[in-house]
Amino acid sequence: MSTARIERHHYDVVVIGAGGAGLRAAIEARLAGKRTAIISKSLFGKAHTVMAEGGAAAAMGNVNSRDNWMVHFRDTMRGGKFLNNFRMAELHAKEAPERIWELETYGALFDRTKDGKISQRNFGGHEYPRLAHVGDRTGLELIRTLQQKIVSLQQEDFAETGNYDARIRVFSETTITELLLDGNRVAGAFGYYRESGEFLLLEAPAVILATGGVGRSYKVTSNSWEYTGDGHALALRAGATLINMEFLQFHPTGMVWPPSVKGILVTESVRGDGGVLRNSEGKRFMFDYVPDVFRKQYADTEEEADRWYNDADNNRRPPELLPRDEVARAINSEVKAGRGTPAGGVYLDVSTRMPAETITRRLPSMYHQFKELADVDITKEPMEVGPTCHYVMGGVEVEPDSAAAMGSVEGLFAAGEVSGGMHGSNRLGGNSLSDLLVFGKRAGEHAAAYAESLPKRPKVDTSDVEAAVLTALAPLERQGGENPYTLQQDLQAVMGDLVGIIRRESELTDALKRLQELKARVAQVGAAGGRRYNPGWHLALDLRNMLIVSECTAKAALEREESRGGHTREDFPQMNPQWRLVNLVCSLDRSGDVHLERKSLPRMRDELIQLFERTELSKYLTEDELSQFDAIEGPKGDARIPGVRTDGQSKTEAK
Amino acid sequence: MGTKRHFRVWRGDSAGGDIQDFDVEVNDGEVVLDIIHRLQATQTPDLACRWNCKAGKCGSCSMEINGKPRLGCMTRMSTFEEDETVTITPLRTFPVIRDLVTDVSFNYDKARETPAFAPPPGVAPGDYRMQQIDVERSQEFRKCIECFLCQNTCHVVRDHEDNKAAFSGPRSFIRAAELDMHPLDDREDRKEYAQAHQGMGLCNITKCCTEVCPEHIKITDNAIIPMKERVVDRRYDPLVWLGRKIFRRDQLNGSDGESMAPSTSVGVTDVAKGAPYTTNRLPENPPVREDGRMDVTEVTLPNPGGPSPFGDQTFPLPPDKVSYQQPGPRHGSLGEDGNRSEDGHHQTH
């Protein structure tokens, strides 16, 4: 195979991914004076970030002046069940407000408070109203703002040089299939244009991964087709490591019917406002699934549960409002027991619970979502819902301050969903958008500095490029090979059924066996047709990444013998403080198999752990750690946070 | 569980192509994009089609379904008759790359030519103060998901390739309007710029863009018309007006820009010259059906399913068919044609 037809480019920094993290990183690299390329798998501005609705969490204190970074930090650690990389959570909480304010200088228009500041809304797990938002389309605003900032930088370059692309160029509909190394150093990235199928080689000393998540490995997901774990896999193959891959966030109530909207979220407030879950026999089954530890707080009769909505003080909560994992587990069990709906979910009903006008008043966005997307009138019929794969907490293990990937590789950076550690075992709503901005900026800044610091540019080895070409063309050579769509469905079935929301040892072992079989089949995948915009070919190439990432998730899920955040083991239902000390680190060995290693978590600095009360920490820490905590002198908990009332009135339980 | 339905899908590339026939299973509750995915999975793995979110939020799966510009993910199969053939073709205004994928770079080029937000000098990040009521006007336009259906349907470029150089299209106009209405944008000349450099004058307000907008942005009423009419407002000068009656446009000094304003006289392109006035009619909201959504086109087609949502019309429409009249500035004694309005920009309130 000749390499003659490969388009070559030289850049200082290549950013793979054009979502929030990628665009923010690119802006920073360009502002640092580096020639920057942005690789966008779809068209510019279509990234999955647009799906984010709630908002971006930042302790600006606009709505409640008591809020500050320390409170935000605490909430983030609680949400992640203390498995978070504390330094990332700290940086995130400290820098999020600046990153949000900066967006306004790019032209963003957030919703406002009465005194003209950025409005902030309440969200699960956040102690104070903290999410900067624009109605329910905050993600779109973020992407558009960053997109337009990049255009404005291009306009500046045009004014100066006569070329819009002089310092920052967007390669839209371009996929990177391989990172190229010079020794341990990143030397470039190889990929193809979707439009033409032609190859391109970007030579650059620094590469930033911002490719998002892995949701397409699951049957039911809220993620788009791009979410095939490309960045995770590229990092592994380049010698970087992944952490926390066992932690996936499943939302208990995603739409399962109609098929076109499978996976799209149904907000929790549907249940909070009186929606009930029923199985195909019409039974309100959640009463059968209240775990013993929750019996005191949750009603055991429908009558009491129904009284709670109007009189929460004298009645116990309806069991529909149990924590997310409990609800998801219950739905899962009902469906597995054959009491699910035809589409494989359960019924979530508000139509028999309140008058139509109450529904449209209290749940307007849900009413419209079902009306517009599904032609279902939720005031007249029940919704069909089931757990949906939403977000991966795990990702590239990074150095917290610089976002540089750990492992053997140099010159690789990661930001956003593709990076791991920030959210621990469970992400709080709203922390994702701020994560993108904070660590996108850091990645861009440090990648630029790294590129600057190199005495000479790493060189791409021609034989690596030839190998990459052969790998990319292989599916096209096998016109009669197995259908990539079938393979994807089989992979989704394995992951959805065996490495889904509730996991068991036997199923995980089975899954690993099946993934090996799939690996052999994926090696024989074929793509009919030619190179021009051929989605079958593109999928065939993505499958390789999906498989390797799925293997990481399955292996780590089998290894971690406890339940914590986004990882629920039926055979180990409790959280275990010993496991909190451990991160599971995936790497790739020479044969291309996933290698798993335990690594201990960095110990939180004294002044940070002092922000917590002992009673809370005792749920998470080992006896040893608690005695270390006791040995620290000085005030602890709320007493350390300026402006916080110490009577405990404002406490909210983080889940 | 599903039924077999008949589909016709355009396949080909820049060199040409044709409509091919497929029989595909359709299940309850599916949308057109699901059918395309089923085609890819079962019959034509290389069928090219863009998509991302499948929830009407990213604007990737724009296509023409039975000749109407639509999002594939928002077009439910239940809206068609059981035995109806569904014809799917790529966006017509843009060059085909392959199958249903078109080269939409036109839109990105135009976006790049629109001057960016100009931050107010001396205001530090974190010190921006705006009132909700003021940001809401721009926020409407920032709902845009860039599906480019408005660009595709706009007859100024849809059937006139040669207009593309001078005309930026509705997507760019709402961007200009958004910045114009941005409470803190430091540039003052957004309207003039839109007239002079984005070809807003070529728009004759047929509202086709508003009709196809999946986000229901009132492109014409809330963006284009206020932009056009405030240019008139600001630039109104009896002498210039008189001059325009006497001199040819190219003889006027500095006429670049203001000549593009809709006016009570000869008008922008002379297209509307002599068109009957419909009194001082306010712009109307687009007609909505019972379910609160708009039909794709208000023109009743003689041949539903034709290649254009406007049937076999040729654009621009003959002047006597254009019924819309821009409300003019308040200068009762000027002009022989008696077009008055109380206030040059009432519908912006």
Q: Are strands A56-57 and A131-132 parallel, antiparallel or unpaired?
A: antiparallel
Q: Is B237 exposed, middle or buried (0-12, 13-18, 19+ CB in 10 A)?
A: exposed
- In angstroms, the separation between the Cα of residue B311 and the nearest Cα of chain A is 27
Cα Rg, chain A, nearest whole Å: 25
What distances in angstroms separate CA A584 from CA A244, A420, A577, A624, B121, one per listed residue? 6, 11, 15, 21, 49
Partners of residue A348 on adjacent β-strands: A277, A383
A599 pLDDT more than 80:
yes
Mean pLDDT calculated for residue range A457-483? 94
pLDDT, mean of residues A605-619: 93
- Residue in B closest to A149 by C-alpha: B116
H helices of A217-310, where? 230-237, 269-272, 302-308
Specify whether the CB–CB gap between B219 and B203 falls below 8 A: no
* pLDDT at residue number A323: 72
Selection from A1-10, A574-583, B254-263, B314-323 with the highest mean pLDDT: A574-583
- Closest of B202, B178, B310 to residue B260, by C-alpha: B202
Q: What is the distance between the alpha carbons of residues A243 and A231, in angstroms, rounded to a whole number?
A: 13
What's the pLDDT score for residue B323? 58
Residue B277 predicted with pLDDT over 50: no
Q: Is pLDDT at A469 greater than 80 in this prediction?
A: yes
Using alpha carbons, select from A198, A211, A243 the residue that is nearest to residue A84: A243
Distance CA A179, CA A384 (A): 43
Distance of alpha carbon A87 from alpha carbon A175, whole angstroms: 32
Residue A650 has pLDDT above 60, yes or no: no
- The contacts of residue B324 (CB under 8 Å, 6+ apart) are B204, B205, B206, B278, B281, B283
Q: Who among A50, A101, A533 is closest to B126 (CB)?
A: A101
Interface subset of B 24-53, CB within 8 angstroms of A: 27-31, 33-34, 40-42, 45-53
Phi, psi of B88 (to 5 degrees): -120, 125
Handedness of CA A533, A534, A537, A543 (dihedral sign): positive
Closest alpha carbon to A255 in A247, A266, A246: A266
Q: How confident is the model over A116-173, as pLDDT tens digits?
A: 999 998 877 888 899 999 987 899 999 999 999 999 999 999 999 999 999 999 999 9
Confidence of residue B253 (pLDDT cuts 50, 70, 90): very low
Q: What is the structure's pLDDT at A123?
A: 77
Q: Look at residue B237 and tell me whether its pLDDT is greater than 70.
A: no
**Of A175, A219, A260, A360, which to mutate for an interface test with B (greatest number of B Cβ within 10 Å)?**
A260
Nearest to A225 by CA among A517, A3, A572, A543: A543
> In angstroms, rounded to a whole number, what is the distance separating the alpha carbons of residues B108 and A164?
12
Say which residue, A590 or A612, is predicted with more confidence: A612
A75 vs B: CB within 8 A: no
- Whether A595 shows a pLDDT value over 60: the answer reads yes
| Cβ atoms A417, A22 nearer than 8 A | no
> Residue B279 — pLDDT band, cuts 50, 70, 90?
very low
- List all residues 6 or more positions away from A71 whose beta carbon is below 8 Å from its beta carbon: A59, A127, A128, A641, A644
ipTM over 0.85: yes
Put simply, whether the predicted model's pTM sits higher than 0.95 gets the answer no
Q: How confident is the model at residue B275 (pLDDT cuts 50, 70, 90)?
A: very low
Other CB atoms within a 10 A radius of the CB of residue B175 amount to 27
* Residue B311 in this model has a pLDDT that exceeds 50: no
- A4 pLDDT band, cuts 50/70/90, is low
Q: Which of chain A's residues have a Cβ under 8 Å away from the Cβ of B104?
A: 43
3-state SS of A51-74 is HCCCCEECCCCCCCCCCCHHHHHH
A543's CB contacts (< 8 A; 6+ apart) are A228, A484, A487, A488, A491, A522, A525
Cβ of residue A537 closer than 8 Å to a chain B Cβ: yes
Q: Does B231 touch chain A (CB under 8 A)?
A: no
Helix (H) or strand (E) segment spanning residue A548: helix A535-559
Task: Kindly state the tokens that stand for A354.
Answer: 């309140």
Task: Give residues with Cβ within 8 angstroms of A467, minimum separation 6.
Answer: none
pLDDT at B335: 40
Rg (Cα) of chain B, in Å, rounded? 22
Q: Which helix (H) or strand (E) holds A243?
A: strand A242-243
Pairwise CA distance, residues A181 & A239, whole Å: 10
Q: B283 or B62: which carries more pLDDT confidence?
A: B62
CB contact under 8 A, B116 and A152: yes
- Tell me the percentage of chain B whose pLDDT exceeds 70: 65
| Nearest CB to B116 within list A148, A371, A529 | A148
Rounded to the nearest 10 degrees, what angle do helices A431-453 and A86-105 cross at?
Answer: 90
Q: Which two tokens stand for residue A240?
A: 């970087």
**Closest Cβ opposite residue B57 in set A50, A105, A375:** A50
- Is some CB atom of chain A closer than 8 A to the CB atom of B121? no
Q: What is the pLDDT of residues A583-592, one digit of tens each?
A: 999 999 988 8
Element (H, E) at A404: strand A404-405
CA angle at A164 for the pair A161 and A169, rounded to the nearest 5° = 125
Q: What is the DSSP letter of A502?
A: E
Angle at CA A490, nearest 5°, toward A486 and A493?
A: 140
Question: What's the CA gap between A387 and A264, in Å, rounded?
Answer: 10
Q: What is the sign of the dihedral through the CA atoms of B233, B239, B241 and B244?
A: negative
Burial of A578 (0-12, 13-18, 19+ CB in 10 A): exposed
A647 has pLDDT over 50: no
Q: Which of A284-293, A348-357, A553-562 holds the top average pLDDT?
A: A553-562
Q: What is the mean pLDDT of residues B167-174?
A: 96
* Contacting residues of B for A483, CB less than 8 Å apart: 41, 45
For chain A, what percent of residues have pLDDT higher than 90? 74
Q: Could you give phi then psi for residue A515, rounded to 5 degrees?
A: -65, -35
Please give, one letter per residue, the 3-state secondary structure of B169-220.
CHHHHHHHHHHHHCCCCCCCCHHHHHHHHCCHHHCCCCCHHHHHCCCCCCHH
Question: Over 90: is that where the pLDDT of A28 sits?
Answer: yes
Cis preceding linkage at B170, omega within 30:
no
Instruction: Summarize the confidence of residues A425-448 as an average pLDDT.
Output: 95
Long-range contacts of A304-312 (CB under 8 A, 24+ apart): A309/A273, A309/A274
CB of A190 closer than 8 Å to CB of A470: no
Does A606 reach chain B within 8 Å, measured CB to CB? no
CA dist., res. A546 & res. A551, Å (int): 9
pLDDT of residue B288: 57
**Lowest mean per-residue pLDDT among A176-190, A192-206, A284-298:** A284-298
Tell how far CA A519 is from the center of its chain: 25
Q: What tens digit of pLDDT does each residue of A347-384 get?
A: 999 999 989 988 887 787 788 888 887 888 999 999 99
CA distances, A197 to each of A133, A472, A538, A586, B327 (Å): 39, 10, 9, 32, 52
Rounded distance between C-alpha atoms, residue A524 and residue A518, angstroms: 10
Residue at A402: amino acid letter: S
pLDDT digits (tens, 9 = 90+) for B109-134: 999 999 999 999 999 999 999 999 99
User: What pLDDT score was predicted for residue B291?
Assistant: 67
Do you find a cis peptide bond into B316, omega within 30 degrees of 0?
yes
- CB contacts of A43 in chain B (<8 Å) are 50, 60, 104
As a whole-number percent, the residues of chain B with pLDDT over 90 amount to: 54
Q: Which two tokens stand for residue B194?
A: 């839109």
Question: What is the set of active-site residues of A?
Answer: 251, 271
Tokens representing B114 are: 């629109």
Task: Specify whether the CB–CB gap between A499 and A566 falls below 8 A.
Answer: no
